[in-house]
Amino acid sequence: MTDCRQQLQAHASRLAGVSLGALVRKGGRRDAALQWQAGPVTLDARHQRLDGEAMDALFALAEAAGFDDARKALLSGDIVNPTEGRPALHAALRDASALKDRDLAARIEAARARTAAFARACQGADAPGGQPVTRIINIGIGGSDLGPRLVYGAMKAFRRPGVDLRFVSNLDPADLEDAIEGADPETTLVCVTSKSFTTSETLMNARAAKAWLAASLGEDGANARMAAATAAPGKAESFGIARERIFPFEEGVGGRYSFWSAAGLCLEIALGPEVFARILDGARQIDGHFATTPAERNLPLAKALIDVWNRAGRGRLARCVAAYSTRLELLPAYLQQLEMESLGKPVRLDGSPLPAHTGGQLVWGGKGSDIQHSFFQWLHQGVDEVPVDFIAVKALYAGGDERAKALGANLVAQTAALLDGHAGEGPLAAHKTLAGGRASSVITLERLDPEGLGALIAVHEHKVFCEGLLYGLNPFDQWGVELGKLLTTDLLSGNHSRFDGASLDLARAFRL
């Protein structure tokens, strides 16, 4: 595997001294070459420090990495996660027809039918407690939390009336306290969402939630209101969840890719199976685009190449995601897990070390225009350039509300300010100058509906897959998170052998 930096650095040096504003204003073929469309999503990368030659070098990297074979392998269910010996089945959850393993496809379809039937039952007298569910408490962490949380927030306009979904992820008891506030145990359903069913945060919170139910309803009443979504149904059963309310999903579904599976059970109940199916439809549209569109017009691949360009070509460690939509407020946090857990790896698939300045970016961000009044100062005048992805929702800004129109104007103004900067004047000119020349992209969603949301998320999933391919790493494992879990267990069980003095001082101060 070659070091992709070598192919990119000549272009990065050539373009480093060029005025980005002048490059952008060239227009013509550059304009067409740096815009992509996939279903309801468009990517406008004209404000990136890129030209035709650099793009050609990037597409050559994709070809050399075997893009065509790799996407086929992903979508047909081949083992693309060799360190865990698993396929990556998130696209198959949207459409299992491309899977080579027909039994697996049948299991996925049966699982989908089961969750949809249960979600419908929760609306009426067939609900676990004999009355419609009014409060769902999803207990999970990481991918078992962030996906459902993002979708529930984004789909506020599509929620079923009379049902409130709350989330418990953190071990701070305040999390559960807030989730049960005002809830009637009789009409509450606790969904324990955990792929492994071993995550200590989730199991401790699930025990606490069960104790809360049992305090009013007794042990049997509590059990009747607990459900689980997991790839380890045996463990859920041993925990005490009744078999008929355990909704399995496949080992090949990664945690951070899992809400499309039974891990989205809480969403399916809170939004209704029809809305949930529309989210899958939107993602399926992107899967189709990703599978069949040639590399040069393939939006997820293009986005991956741009991020590789900024990271490996231009040495930009971080990327900011600025979502100009209140309902997409959690998108930066969601993408942070998707990207950083997938691409934060030290080695390639063959175990050789990744070269410096390659691998996933540090992803962070927030909601525009609020963030303009907090950290955007740093983006405009800080010493480091950090590329920004602006996430736009066209129908919101174009819908006639003057505040929404101004929100869209803020977004456009920020892209222009980053591009051209401003020459300060007077005695404080140096302080008032914004250098400009700072790269950004705009990812525009036609409208924030279930199809659009599904498409937006699927674009990023496939983008992450392509980045893994370009760097030659495995985006589907996450060995780096295990050590902390072991050390916590050691500490709580009194095994101090691996701790230094400062850490033990802390443990004593916290009375652990």
Looking at beta carbons only, is 124 or 346 nearer to ligand F6P?
346
Buried b (16+ CB within 10 A) or exposed e, 335-355: bbbbbbbbbbbeebbeeeebb
For residue 335, give the nearest of 303, 312, 310, 305 by alpha carbon. 303
Q: Which is nearer to ligand F6P, 226 or 407 (CB)?
A: 226
Stretch that binds ligand F6P, among 115-123, 137-145, 352-360, 382-390 (CB under 6 A): 137-145
Percent helix / strand / coil, the chain, rounded to 5 = 55, 10, 30
* 141 is a contact residue toward ligand F6P (CB under 6 A): yes
- Smallest separation, CB 489 to ligand F6P (Å): 13
C-alpha span between 336 and 325 (Å, rounded):
17
- DSSP for 58-117 reads HHHHHHHTTHHHHHHHHHTT---BTTTTB---HHHHH-GGG-S-HHHHHHHHHHHHHHHH
Least CB distance to ligand F6P at residue 261 (A) = 11
Which positions from 460 through 479 interact with ligand F6P, judged by CB under 6 A? 478
Structure tokens at 497: 């052998």
Closest distance between ligand F6P and the C-beta of residue 256, in Å?
5
Q: Which part of the chain contacts ligand F6P (CB under 6 A), choosing from 78-86, 139-147, 236-244, 397-405?
A: 139-147
Please tell me what DSSP assigns to residue 249. -
Beta-ladder partners of 427: none
**Active-site residue identified among 26, 156, 485, 496:** 485
Number of residues that this document lists for the chain? 512
Asked if 196 interacts with ligand F6P (CB under 6 A), we say yes
In angstroms, the first-to-last Cα distance of the chain is 47
Q: Minimum distance from CB of 195 to ligand F6P (Å)?
A: 4
Which amino acid, one-letter code, is at 137? I
Pick from 117, 4, 126: nearest CA to 59: 4
Binding segment (CB under 6 A) for ligand F6P, from list 190-198, 289-297, 397-405, 452-460: 190-198
- Please give the Cα distance from 491 to 132 (Å, whole number): 43
Of the two residues 194 and 415, which places its CB atom closer to ligand F6P in the complex? 194
The stretch near ligand F6P (CB under 6 A) out of 192-200, 274-282, 381-389, 405-413 is 192-200
Q: Which of 341, 385, 451, 467 is catalytic?
A: 341
**Considering the complex, what minimum distance in angstroms separates the CB of residue 373 from ligand F6P?**
32
Rule CB under 6 A: is residue 271 a binding residue for ligand F6P? no
Q: How far apart (Å, rounded) are the C-alpha atoms in residues 384 and 46?
A: 21
* Residues 420/436, Cβ–Cβ less than 8 Å: yes
Q: Determine whether 341 is an active site residue.
A: yes
- Candidates 81, 134, 138, 144; binder of ligand F6P (CB under 6 A) is 144
C-alpha 15/C-alpha 12 separation (Å) is: 5
Q: What angle do CA 304, 262, 223 make, to 5 degrees?
A: 145
143 near ligand F6P, judged by CB under 6 A? yes
Chain centroid to Cα 189, Å, comes to 26
Residue with Cβ nearer ligand F6P (108 or 443)? 108
Residue closer to ligand F6P (CB basis): 115 or 478: 478
Of positions 106, 211, 481, 486, contacts ligand F6P by CB under 6 A: 481
Q: Interface with ligand F6P includes 325 (CB under 6 A)?
A: no
Does residue 255 belong to the site contacting ligand F6P (CB under 6 A)?
yes
Q: In 3D, which of 398, 405, 320 has the Cα closest to residue 365?
A: 320
Q: With residue 41 as reference, give the H or E element that holds it.
A: strand 41-44
Least gap, CB of 138 to ligand F6P (angstroms): 11
Does 181 participate in catalysis according to the annotation?
no
Residue 393 or 457: the one with the smaller Cβ distance to ligand F6P is 457
At 465, the amino acid letter reads F
Q: Segment near ligand F6P (CB under 6 A), from 37-45, 140-148, 172-180, 458-466?
A: 140-148
Round to whole Å and give the CA distance between 463 and 360. Answer: 11
Helix (H, G, I), strand (E, B), or coil: what is residue 192? strand
Query: Is 440 or 478 the residue whose CB approaches ligand F6P more closely?
Result: 478
CB of 124 to ligand F6P, least distance (A): 29
90 near ligand F6P, rule: CB under 6 A: no
On the question of a cis peptide bond just before residue 493, with omega within 30 degrees of 0, the verdict is no
Mark whether 485 is an active-site residue. Answer: yes
Tell me whether residue 140 or residue 450 sits nearer to ligand F6P (CB atom). Answer: 140
Q: Which residues pair with 393 in a beta bridge?
A: 445
The answer to the question of residue 205 lying near ligand F6P (CB under 6 A) is: no
> Interface residues for ligand F6P in 415-444 (CB under 6 A)?
none
Count helices and strands (H / E) in the chain.
22, 11
Q: Which residue among 47, 90, 195, 225 contacts ligand F6P (CB under 6 A)?
A: 195
Q: Which stretch binds ligand F6P (CB under 6 A): 195-203, 216-224, 445-453, 457-465?
A: 195-203
Active-site residues, by number, are 341, 373, 485
Where on the chain is the footprint of ligand F6P (CB under 6 A)? 140-144, 194-196, 199, 202, 255-256, 341, 478, 481
